[in-house]
């Protein structure tokens, strides 16, 4: 079997956060502008800066990508996101740490590396026509349970 890992781009997993925010029985998602999963819907988030706590990174990225102010509640799961080239070789491996956040204020506006930002009902995430990043629906269900929805 050929080796499909190209560790010259980035040899180690990259820690990043994703913010799961509920407001009026809807969860906030962004349509990604950049890899991995460019064009797909996922949670607002991004890389954790050196010395930055996970929770602070989650609310910072939430605001940068959507203009929504949030307050962290719980770190509740982690998922892998793989950025591969056209030949299937791994360029980057992200470990996305999910943080449940409470909505504080704001109206979603796409910013930073998001093409769109909007609220979705949980049942809308099951729509076959909606291009979601891997594990988004499952993480949203977990966040709904933790958030008492």
Catalytic residues: 116
Q: Give the dihedral of Cα atoms 65, 93, 75, 18; nearest 10 deg.
A: 10
Distance CA 74, CA 13 (A): 22
Which token pair is 127? 């729509």
Measured over the CA atoms of residue 39, residue 61, residue 14 and residue 126, the dihedral's sign is negative
Token reading at 119 = 């609220």
Chain position carrying tokens 């940068």 = 64
């Amino acid at each position: 079997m050929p080796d499909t890992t190209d560790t010259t781009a980035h040899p180690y997993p990259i820690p990043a956060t994703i913010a799961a925010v509920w407001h009026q029985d809807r969860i906030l998602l962004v349509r990604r502008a950049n890899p991995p999963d460019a064009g797909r819907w996922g949670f607002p988030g991004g890389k954790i800066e050196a010395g930055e706590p996970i929770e602070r990174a989650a609310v910072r990225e939430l605001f940068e990508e959507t203009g929504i102010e949030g307050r962290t509640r719980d770190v509740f799961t982690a998922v892998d996101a793989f950025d591969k080239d056209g030949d299937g070789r791994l360029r980057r491996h992200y470990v996305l740490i999910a943080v449940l956040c409470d909505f504080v204020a704001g109206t979603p506006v796409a910013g930073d590396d998001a093409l769109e930002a909007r609220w979705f009902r949980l049942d809308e995430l099951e729509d076959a026509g909606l291009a979601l990043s891997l594990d988004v629906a499952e993480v949203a269900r977990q966040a709904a349970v933790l958030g008492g929805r």
